[in-house]
A and B are shown apart, each in its own frame.
Chain A
């Protein structure tokens, strides 16, 4: 059986039959903030600098960023810093720094908000960080990353941004933004229950259904090409592999 999917180059276009779709977040509805406006505080603006949303001329979000993907929620996850460290998303910090990172949604947030305003002063006097033009916000962040005293705080917020965007913690909006299909059931943590599927997302039983026919109809979303790669001239594996596929 050869499906010829390689030539087809099919991209998944799930019309998901989800039972519990991922929550739609405020920024996805078209009511998103225009750049530089509507930030609740400096940290909120910082998240949009580190992993920004993209908007059209009317201010409608066309591509979610960390804020829309739920970074605020991630910053409130209990023990986020040690959890992220245990997963390799953050480096180890000194005990003194760890103490500063204990209350991410309280003291840490207040201190970082103040520090960002100080950083903003260098860029434009009498202007809060959240009100700076994007280029100046980025310049302030560049300076903060270069400051050993400020860097740990920025690393934590960046880790939270990446976690919100790619970790599917509060929603799968970020994953969808980078091209992955929606979760089948986000509430149950179920991303996808199997392949092959039809283009509309129905799971196909390869034992009873003709994958060739589905492919011929342009209705197959498979995980395989189901064909032999071309042989490599001159590369004899008989001295390397045994009949079971193990290295000799």
Chain B
């Protein structure tokens, strides 16, 4: 069955891209340049032949022409770029704190270098690799269970016929997003408590035994996942619904004419339309894999579940490497974010190849 696409599929048959490649074809035969500018069998690098120089001059002129053509675009980019430069790149030198012994009075530039000392201390901490693994595992589980939840929910909400019902559902499901983890942990503790927690009361009345959920390791990660879904799934539907509502009606109608049932429509109209946004959100989530949800874990964990629930962020905090130890804090962040960036780029490439759409 054919996929029903809006007139242009997200990202793929982008005429801009086609146009630019057409322009490229006209200017420079890329492959031939490469093959000519190579090393000779004896290892000497040939000098660039005259036709290459000319074609590069041509492409440079093409680029200048494009810049000129796009001058308004550059103007439109300017405020954002300026803000990034001023507020993100100017302070960027602060990253060096991770490699320095920071003295408040001397400033960052005046503080002495200590190289990888901070990293050695952190990576040498007794439980570091255990909590690192915990962080990754928990985030992987969240990727598998928490990530799809708002997508599924949004699709189901989209299928609702009654506008009033849909509106009501929309208005209610986002509410838990605003409740802080402190409050949620109180609610969860009350629900799962061994004495008169609701769940245990029900269990007992059904003839079972009470289970101390909060202090057994095997329940902690599921608790993290379920509470996160509870808190964030509703809010997460907003962006997917925003995309879903732009799907033109005719696509559904055309699918029906072709004999697609509800499931078929979802598979061939709804999901393809969501591919780009899902890919984007997925890539961004993967790009956050080494950073855990500090607030959530801090408020829900306890010494009995440290071995499965302790994440990098809470461990560092507990062992006293947070406050005042700027170098250490920055070093941990650097460690985490370097891995994150690599993961993001990998996910981006994968997404580009599999779905054709990606972050950039």
A, B in one complex: no
